[in-house]
Amino acid sequence: MEECVFCKIVDGKIPSAKVYEDSKVISFLDILPANKGHCLVVPKKHAQNLLDMGEDDLIATMKAAKKVARALSLSFGNGSFNIVMNNGKEAGQVVNHAHIHLIPRFQKDRLRIKWSHLKYEENEMKEYAEKVKKFI
């Protein structure tokens, strides 16, 4: 995709602080990090989100995410990190190219990833489960 910033990074048209690359995936530091060391793991083949990714690219991206997460953990001396993938505008996806955020966490950092908790009404949980199962 010509206008996709991540495709431009993959093609070398925009510089990045690469931390990992193989034939299917690239990983680099986020230019607007939630914490220093925040990396993005991006499939080289353009896909808008998780649902658009091919199986091979999904597997390669997750394997690369694990490698980068391990490297983050070792480089910062702790095993704490968040792994986040926003899919779609309502979920907070800004760049419409599938990507995984790996955010190192530190004691006393100021980052808060928090959501409110809802409760299901009587029988509602079963209804939602049935709706989802119809499409699996």
CATH code assigned at 51: 3.30.428.10
Q: Is the pLDDT of residue 1 over 70?
A: no
Q: What is the pLDDT of residues 37-91, one digit of tens each?
A: 999 999 999 999 999 999 999 999 999 999 999 999 999 888 899 999 999 999 9
Distance of CA 133 to the CA centre of its chain: 25
* Domain span including residue 82: 5-133
Q: Supply the pLDDT for residue 115.
A: 84
Catalytic residues: 99
Query: Per mean pLDDT, which range of 30-39, 86-95, 105-114 is the poorest?
Result: 105-114
Residue 100: name the closest of 15, 20, 40, 22 by CA.
40
Q: Is the pLDDT of residue 113 over 90?
A: no
The total domain count for the chain is: 1
Residue 28: name the closest of 88, 68, 79 by CA.
68
- Label residue 112 left, alpha or beta by phi (over 0 means left) and psi (-120 to 50 means alpha): beta
Q: What is the pLDDT of residues 14-27, one digit of tens each?
A: 999 999 999 999 99
